[in-house]
Amino acid sequence: MHSTIPLIELKNIEKVFLTDEVETHAPSAVGFEIYHGEYVSISGPYY
C-alpha cells in the first residue's frame, strides 16, 4: 500500500517537434504520479 500523496506529480506535459514545414505535438496533456515504493523507468531517444 502506498501513501495518498505522490512523491512526484507531473501535469499537462507536452512535447512539440518543430521543422521548417510542420509543428507536431506528441504527446500532449500527459500526466502521471509516482508514489513512495514504486519503480519507474522512462526511456526514449535523446535529441
Q: What is the predicted pLDDT for the residue at 1?
A: 58
pTM above 0.85, yes or no: no
Give the contacts of 14 (CB within 8 A, at least 6 positions apart): 25, 27, 28, 29, 30
**Domain residue spans of the chain:** 1-38
What pLDDT digit, counting tens, does each position of 1-47 carry? 557 899 999 999 998 989 999 998 888 888 999 999 999 998 888 76
